[in-house]
Structure 1
Amino acid sequence: MSLPFNVQNSNNKFGFGDPMSEDPGLFNLSRTERYTAFGGCFIVGLVLSIIGSVLIFSGHMAAFAVCYSLGNVISLLGMGFLIGFKRQLKMATHPVRLTAFLIYIGLLIATFVTAFTLEIGVLCLILAICQFCALAWYSASYVPFGRKIISSVCGAWARSI
C-alpha cells in the first residue's frame, strides 16, 4: 500500500517525515500490521457507534452511551497504531488541539453521567452529537486546512438557512 506522497523523505511537500518510523509503538508492529490494527479499530468503533445509535431509539440510554462513546474512543485509539500512542497523546495535548481534546473528554464523561444517572434521552442524544462534533473538530486539526474547511462548510450551510 502506498500513500499519495513519499513519506520516506522528510523533505516532502507536506514537511513531515514518516510518523511510523519514529515510534515503534507498544507492540513493535510492522507497517502492514499497523494499518490492519488501525482499520480493525476503525471498523469496530464504527460498528459500536452504529449499534449505540440504534439503541437510543429503543430507550436503552446506558447501552447507547457505552456503545456510542466506546466506539468513538476505539476509533480514536486506532490512530495510535499509525503514529504511536505516546506521540498521539503528545499531539493531543499540543496547544492547538488541547481545548478540543478536553472538550471531547468532558462530553464523553457527561454522556456517561447523563445516561447512567439522569437517564434523560434527549439530553444524552444532544451530548452524543456534541461529542461527535468535538471529535470531528479535534480530528480536523490533524488535516491541513481541516478546521478551515469545516468552518467554511458550516458557514455556507448556516447562510443557506
Structure 2
Amino acid sequence: MSLPFNVQHMQGRYGVDDPMADDPGLFHLSRTERLWAFGGCFVVGLALSIIGSALVFTGSVAAFAVCYSLGNTISLLGTCFLVGFKKHFKMALAPVRLTAFLVYIVFLALTFVSAFAFDIAALCIVFAILQYCALFWYSASYIPYGRKIIKSTCGTFAKAI
C-alpha cells in the first residue's frame, strides 16, 4: 500500500521524506536555520515589492522596477534554502517548470527594459504584473494539483462572468 505525501516508515525524524535532508545547501545550515533564512528572504522580498509598488506613485519608474523585481527574486531565492540551491535550480529546469521559469526571466528583463530604456511607467507596470503572474504560476507547480486548482478556479470565474 502506498502512503500519501512520501511518508516513509519512520525514516526521518518526523516519519516523512524530508526534502531539506538531501542537500546540506550552500551554507550547511541546520533545518531551523534554513527555515529562518527562507522566512527572512520572504519578508525582505515582500517588503521590497511593497516599497516598489509604493514608489510607482512617486513617478520613479526605475526605482519601482528595481525594488519590485528584486523583491520577487529574493523571495524566489529564499525557497532555495528549503531544498538546496543546486536541487532548486535542477527543479526549475524540469520540463513541468521550465516554461514558467523562462517566462518569469523574460518578464523580469522586460520590466527593466521598459523602466530604463523606454521610461514608460504603464508598460513597466504591465510587465511587473506579468512577472508576478509568471512567478505565481511557477510557484504553483510545486504544490500538488496547484495549477489544476488555479485553472478550475479561473474557469469558474470566467463562467460566472
Q: Which TM-score applies when normalising by structure 2?
A: 0.91
Deviations 1:3-39 (A, max 9, x none): xxxxxxxx75113721111000000000110000000
Go from structure 1 to structure 2 and tell me whether the alpha carbon gap of 1:137 and 1:152 turns closer, same or farther (over 3 Å shift): same
Give the counterpart letter for 1:90 in structure 2. Answer: K
Question: Displacement, 1:160?
Answer: 2.2
Instruction: Pick one of 6, 13, 16 that aligns with 2:4.
Output: 13
SS in 2 for 1:29: coil
Q: Distance in 2 between matches of 1:157 and 1:57?
A: 30
Secondary structure of the 1:14 match is helix
Give the match for residue 53 of structure 1: 53
Counterpart CA distance in 2 for 1:36 and 1:25 is 14
Unaligned runs of 5+ in 1: 1-10
Root-mean-square deviation (CA, aligned residues, Å) is 1.1
- Residue 111 of structure 1: aligned partner: 111
- 1:77–1:12: structure 2 CA closer, same or farther, 3 Å change rule? farther
Q: Which moves more between the two structures, 145-154 or 45-54?
A: 145-154
> Can you list the C-alpha shifts for 1:85-139, whole angstroms capped at 9, x where unaligned?
0000000000000000000000000000110110111111100000000000000
Q: Which residue of structure 1 aligns with residue 42 of structure 2?
A: 42
Deviation beyond 3 Å, 4+ runs, structure 1: none
Structure-1 separation of matches of 2:157 and 2:85:
36
Q: CA deviation at 1:159?
A: 2.1
Aligned partners of 2:157, 2:86: CA distance in 1, in Å?
37
Partner of 1:127: 127
Consecutive unaligned residues of structure 2, counting only runs of 5 or more, are 8-16
AA paired with 1:30?
Answer: S
Normalization by structure 1: what TM-score? 0.91
Partner of 2:26: 26
Measured in 2, the distance between the counterparts of 1:94 and 1:102 equals 11
- Indicate the residue corresponding to 2:14 in structure 1: none
Match of 1:7? none
SS of the residue 1:57 aligns to: helix
Percent identity over the alignment is 66
Structure 2 counterpart of 1:74, one-letter code: I
SS in 2 for 1:144: coil
